[in-house]
Chains A and B, each alone.
Chain A
Amino acid sequence: MTRVMAQLAMVMNLDKCIGCHTCSVTCKQAWTNRAGTEYVWFNNVETRPGQGYPRTYEDQDKWKGGWELNRRGRLQLKAGGRLKKLLTIFANPLMPSIGDYYEPWTYDYDRLFSAPVTEDTPVARPRSLITGEPTKIKWSANWDDDLAGAPELAPADPVLRKVSDQVKLEFERAFMFYLPRICEHCLNPSCVASCPSGAMYKRSEDGIVLVDQDRCRGWRMCVTGCPYKKVYFNHRTGKAEKCTFCYPRVEVGIPTVCSETCVGRLRYIGLILYDADRVAEAASTPDEKALYEAQKSVMLDPRDPEVIAAARASGIPEDWLEAAENSPIHKLIFDYGVALPLHPEYRTMPMVWYIPPLSPVVDVLRETGHDGERAGNLFGAIDALRIPIGYLAELFSAGDPEPVRAVLRRLAAMRSYMRGINLAGERDESIPAAVGLEGDQIEEMYRLLAIAPYGERYVIPKAHAEQGARLEELATGCSLDYEGGPGMGGPFGEASGPPAPVAVENFHALKERQATDDLGRADELRGRVNLLNWDGKGTPDGLFPKRKDKS
């Protein structure tokens, strides 16, 4: 019997990313706005081609992240086995320094107020947050944003270096797109395998990879082990930290902060069911180019009765099975076949997938005066253009252009098929047929990619109350077992009954505040005041005790 496990996964549609960094900023506000994590961005947005963050992290000849196959064809950590890890524990030779990320800084804002009256306007000079000394800003998390400095910087892009022997880089014909990145929450996480203390783990309920802060001893091997360099070292606390997939939010059924705030609405979250016993076997596939298909083969069809029975036997609850069935992730990977993993050749089985951008192709067509919406033109361009396709293939399919080409052809087909419907009212069924889809499927795919509402983009089952007796919210010892959610009074009137989880309460309070004209209304809090959401305006009910009338 297969051992079925559930995994929360994400897909990002790169065509819709405008590079606004809202995801990065809101994530930073939520998770890494503390001392010691100044340089840390659990979510960052890179401009490609570009060096990325930390610089050239994809150059695994240098950083040795991820897995490789040894001579006997078995998986081993690229940075070395267990013994080698322990022998290099005193000075990890493969750890990026702060300079590889960037030296975080602040400004001498106080100078603006405290400077004496002079002819010249006082300036706030940058100061390093590492040394506290005045510093010169030389690099940052997105220094090469929008191809800034690309003629000098982009040639060092490890992905571009792989394809550059095919085609000489011509910057007047440069292409560009944005790549938002979070932790991949891999099925075969090399950071977890690298942790000497066993402090990193994969949650068996939802597959989120976390660091146990009480067990981490700061050996720093996870930073080396992760090929995406998405585990960071908090230099103040001496502990590793990483993207948490916003577990306190997803446990109550709301999406991660980066997804919630995404301006382009390009992120999708849903469940994937997979066969846990076959992960290592699939990750050991000898041919790197076959790893994409191998990873797909590990994932199970949530509508297959046999899979459902096995999942039940493995203890996956019914509402999770239902969520898996409606998962937008499964649809994008399998039904429409448009999502691809990032760097499958690292053999970690990443679970944040991407829909590669068609826009570089459309841009080239438009610049050469062709109709960038016509199926024939697009198909021809996809077959002919080697630079963008080669580059995308190095990112998403270990250099094999065919999967990328197939995805782009489907996106192109959707583009021209939907244009036919919208402008001419005609359905050219030859277009979907050319990419192996039905017209209805194309329309469904269009709906999911373009206009799907919140509830279809994020299908996140709540963590179970009966499992969650010890959820983080419950560190205080209350019960998560509540019905109807916030706003429901208990059996003895308002404010009776168990309290709602803080994350739910914050979420609803915030929504209320965004939607209401009144200031500081807090009816739904049953007489209590949520100070986390009080913006200082007005006096919400319950902030002060009611005055006793003297009359």
Chain B
Amino acid sequence: MNALDVTLWVVAPYVALTVFVLGHIWRYRYDKFGWTTRSSQMYESRLLRIGSPLFHFGILVVLLGHIGGLVIPKNWTEAAGVSEHAYHLTAVVLGTVAGVCTVAGLAILVYRRRTVGPVFTATTRNDKLMYALLALTIALGLAATVVANVLGGGYDYRTTISPWFRSVFYLQPEGHLMAAAPILFKLHALSAMVLFAVWPFTRLVHMLTAPVGYLTRPYIVYRSRDDRAGSRPPRRGWEPAGRP
């Protein structure tokens, strides 16, 4: 394993993860006001109504697929009685369908963003960078799957990439596993790391505040002036006098 491999598959993942975590904490503390989806539905909804659900539901299935493929070890699924062939078939079929949906949705959304005047005007440079990285990562991922499984004879990433992925979180990174992976998978992983590193500074932050709490909270929310922390909590040494 040469120095480049160590940089790419051992150092880079930790850099990306650190920026991802600390970036979100920083953004949450200092830019809550900017933490939004920045929806453009006001301007245009005909294309959005097709493109957005297609992309979002697609990418959610892709996310589930990644969890299934990367996080769950191969011997667990085998212990559960899922044969390699069965796993492979489900992964390829489901992955391709979800991938195509995601790409189609993204294509519609990018087309909309470019052609609908108000939406294009509301697009920042930050958005453009984010779109480029997101599109690149998705395209590379889909290409890797298609090339390896549909055109090629199949590549079992669960014996190389997945252990590497998990090893990063065990804090015992096994970079050599990734160094031996096919080039498209490598590129996909690299672009994903860049995407994760810029993630906290883009509008993608809205994903982390997906409103799942809505399912359980009471409908009407009451808040008192008192327990509202305000935009700026009193600093140390400046607490109002006469309060317990």
Give the A-B contact count at a CB cut-off of 8 A. Answer: 144
Given the known inter-chain contacts A198-B213, A217-B35, please indicate yes or no for A91 contacting B41, CB distance below 8 A: yes
The answer to whether A152 has its CB under 8 Å from any CB of chain B is no
Residues of A within 8 A of B235 (CB): 477
Asked whether any CB of chain B lies closer than 8 Å to the CB of A92, the reply is yes
CB distance from B206 to the nearest CB of A (A): 6
Interface assignment of B43: CB less than 8 Å from any CB of chain A: yes
Does residue A111 face the partner (Cβ distance < 8 Å to B)? no
**For the complex, what is the distance from the CA of A83 to the CA of B214, rounded to whole Å?**
9
Whole-angstrom distance between the alpha carbons of A233 and B206 in the complex? 17
| Bound CA–CA A233/B45 (angstroms) | 14
Given A198-B213, A202-B220, A204-B223: A93 touches B49 (CB 8 Å cut-off)? yes
Report the minimal beta-carbon distance from B60 to chain A, rounded to whole angstroms: 10
The complex places the Cα of A237 from the Cα of B48 at a distance, in Å, of: 19
- Contacts A468-B225, A477-B234 given; does A97 touch B211 at CB 8 Å: no
Q: Is the CB of A217 within 8 A of B36?
A: yes
CB distance from A174 to the nearest CB of B (A): 34
* Chain B CB within 8 A of A49 CB: no
In the complex, the answer to whether B225 meets A90 with C-beta atoms within 8 Å is: no
Partner of A197, one of B53, B209, B228: B209
- Give Cα A132 to B119, complex, Å: 12
Q: Is the Cβ of B33 less than 8 Å from the Cβ of A204?
A: no
Tell yes or no: A532 within 8 A of B by CB: no
Q: Which of B39, B55, B56, B221 contacts A218 (CB 8 A)?
A: B39
A214, B33: Cβ atoms under 8 Å?
A: yes
CA distance A235 to B118 in the complex (A): 10
In whole angstroms, what is the CA distance A214 to B31 when docked? Answer: 8
Q: Mark A127-154, 1 if CB is under 8 A from B, else 0.
A: 0001111000000000000000000000
* Size of interface on B: residues with Cβ below 8 Å to A: 51
In the complex, A209→B104 CA distance in Å? 40
> Inside 8 A of B53's CB, which chain A residues have their CB?
90-91
Q: A91-B45, A235-B122 are in contact. Are A216 and B36 (CB under 8 A)?
A: yes
Set B118, B214, B224, B228: member contacting A131, Cβ < 8 A: B118
Q: Name A470's contact: one of B55, B121, B223, B226 (CB within 8 Å).
A: B226
Q: Please name all residues of chain B whose beta carbon is closer than 8 Å to the beta carbon of A212 when the two chains form the complex.
A: 223
Tell me, in angstroms, the Cα distance from A299 to B222 when the chains sit together.
18
* B33 and A188 within 8 A (CB): no
Whether the Cβ atoms of A218 and B232 lie closer than 8 Å is no
- Complex Cα–Cα for A192 and B217 (A): 12
Interface size in chain A (residues, C-beta < 8 A)? 56
Q: Are B223 and A201 closer than 8 Å at their CB atoms?
A: yes
Q: Which of A86, A197, A204, A219 contacts B224 (CB 8 A)?
A: A204
Residues of chain B with a CB closer than 8 A to A472's CB: 230-231
Give which listed residue, A98, A132, A193, A197, contacts B220 with CB less than 8 A. A193
B153 interfacial by beta-carbon distance below 8 Å: no
Note all chain B residues with C-beta closer than 8 A to A235.
40, 42-43, 122
B37 interface hit (Cβ, 8 Å): yes
Report yes or no: A198 in contact with B224, Cβ–Cβ below 8 A: no
- Chain A residues near B43 (CB-CB < 8 A): 97-98, 130, 235
Interface contacts beyond A218-B37, A238-B38, A239-B33: sample of 5 additional A-B pairs, CB < 8 Å, sorted by A: A86-B212, A132-B121, A203-B223, A214-B32, A238-B36
Chain B residue nearest to A86 in the complex (CB)? B214
Known: A95-B41, A132-B121. A188 touches B220 (CB 8 A): yes
Give Cα A214–Cα B29 distance, bound, in whole angstroms: 10
Q: Is the pair A202, B221 in contact by a Cβ cutoff of 8 Å? A: yes
Q: Are A189 and B220 in contact (CB under 8 A)?
A: yes
Residue in B39, B45, B224 whose Cβ sees the most chain A Cβ within 10 Å: B39
